[in-house]
Amino acid sequence: MASSIGDALSPAVRAVWWTPARRLQGLWVALLAIAAAALAIGAVAIPLFSLIDGSASLLQRTLFTEIRLPRVLLAGVAGAGLGLAGAALQGLFRNPLADPGLIGVSGGAAVGAIAMIVFGSAVALPESFSFYAMPIAAVTGASLATGFLLVFSRVFGHFSVVTMLLVGVALNALATVVIGAFQYLSDDAQLRTLTFWMMGSFGRATWPALWPALMLMVLSAAVLLRKSRALDLLQLGESEARALGIDTVRLKWQVVLCAATVVGAGVALSGIVAFVGLVVPHLVRLFIGANHSLVLPGSTLLGAALAICADLVARTVVVPAELPVGLVTSAIGAPFFLYLIARVRPV
């Protein structure tokens, strides 16, 4: 989207006016437009103006505030979290393939959340705490997986692309094993919940479940977004970054914990939504710029826009049923990514 506007402009205008900052603003505009469209479109017709001038029925009003708004919000923050975590982890590991899904972070979150689905009912939690249990369990799982990666990378000094992918394969395999064991232990009803949860959906957003995850995500996203300069310096190499005054150990743990939190809190509510974390930072680097001060906010915005868009498709194509949103993100993300690789020289 940003590229087509950019391409249409003459090179001179492009250099002076279509600056990276303006491109980021363009992304804001696109995100708001997509969010507005997602709020306006759905199985039940709700004209947005009718909500403002008060002509909407009570049903339309409640449907908007209790179902559509939390759903779009969850899609937005979960997508933003995946995009931001993808960008931060790619920067941290200095590795373009560090996607939360590929390297096992989402898998770790899934293990945590599934453990809570299967064993949570055995541990009698007070009702007001039950909404926190899933995000906390998922964040713990994601943190363990990311922490393991970090410790592993310390042992090896620096990760090559291949090593990271192989460790990711191993971590994902481990997650699959644990999930498989949980599936074996779970009863019929839990099993069916698990299966659909694994496919990903933003349809389960309710305000009480959304608040705790939202708080966790906003807090960690705020920390991650402040790490752009440190991540830029880290690209020079670890000893160079240290020489320039970056406490690399602290930086690594902060990024790992915060990335795990934004991914985990999202995964706890939406299940696994593939491809956002990998594709989004690359698109931002291609069309906006490679500085982390651009990549981090850009990936946050674009991740949110992509997830909202995918959810819009998922819930409107087979009304009154809906598609798993992970199916849609992969269907949009994978071919688009291939097209980009074929068309644009990587920056």
Contact positions toward other proteins, by CB under 8 A? 42-44, 59, 62-63, 66-68, 71, 127-129, 131-132, 184, 186-189, 191-193, 196, 201, 203-209, 211-212, 215, 219, 223, 226, 247, 250, 254, 315, 318-322
Give the pair of three-digit tokens for residue 344: 């644009």
Return the number of the residue (48 or 166) whose C-beta is nearest other proteins.
48
Minimal distance in Å, beta carbon 32 to other proteins?
A: 22
Shortest CB 172 distance to other proteins, Å: 18
Q: Which tokens is 11 given? A: 């090179």
Nearest residue (CB) to other proteins, 25 versus 62: 62
Between 99 and 322, CB nearer to other proteins? 322
Which residues are CB-contacts of 178 (< 8 A; sequence separation ≥ 6)?
111
Report, in Å, the least distance between residue 171 CB and other proteins.
22
State in angstroms the smallest separation of the CB of 260 from other proteins. 14
C-beta of 3 vs 193, nearer to other proteins? 193
Nearer to other proteins, 3 or 206 (CB): 206
Q: Residue 289: left if φ>0, alpha if ψ -120 to 50, beta else—which one?
A: left
Which candidate, 103, 73, 76, places its Cα nearest to that of 89?
103
CB 68 → other proteins: shortest distance, Å?
7
Helix spans in the chain (H): 2-8, 11-16, 20-40, 48-53, 58-63, 69-92, 105-119, 127-156, 161-185, 188-199, 207-225, 228-234, 238-243, 248-270, 276-287, 292-316, 325-343
Work out how close the CB of 14 gets to other proteins at its nearest, in angstroms, rounded to a whole number. Answer: 32
User: Closest separation between CB of residue 312 and other proteins, Å?
Assistant: 11
Find tokens 């906390």 and name the residue: 136
Angle subtended at Cα 262 by Cα 260 and Cα 266, rounded to the nearest 5 degrees:
110
Residue closer to other proteins by CB (options 11, 184) is 184
Helix 127-156 × helix 207-225 angle, to 10°: 30
Q: Kindly report the CA angle at 218 between 213 and 219, in degrees rounded to 5?
A: 100
What is d(CA 220, CA 76) in angstroms, rounded to the nearest whole number?
Answer: 16
Write down the least CB distance from residue 215 to other proteins, Å: 7
* Minimum CB distance to other proteins smaller for 234 or for 278: 234
DSSP state of 176: H
Is the Cβ–Cβ distance between 51 and 30 less than 8 Å? no
Our CB check for other proteins shows the closer of 94 and 315 to be 315
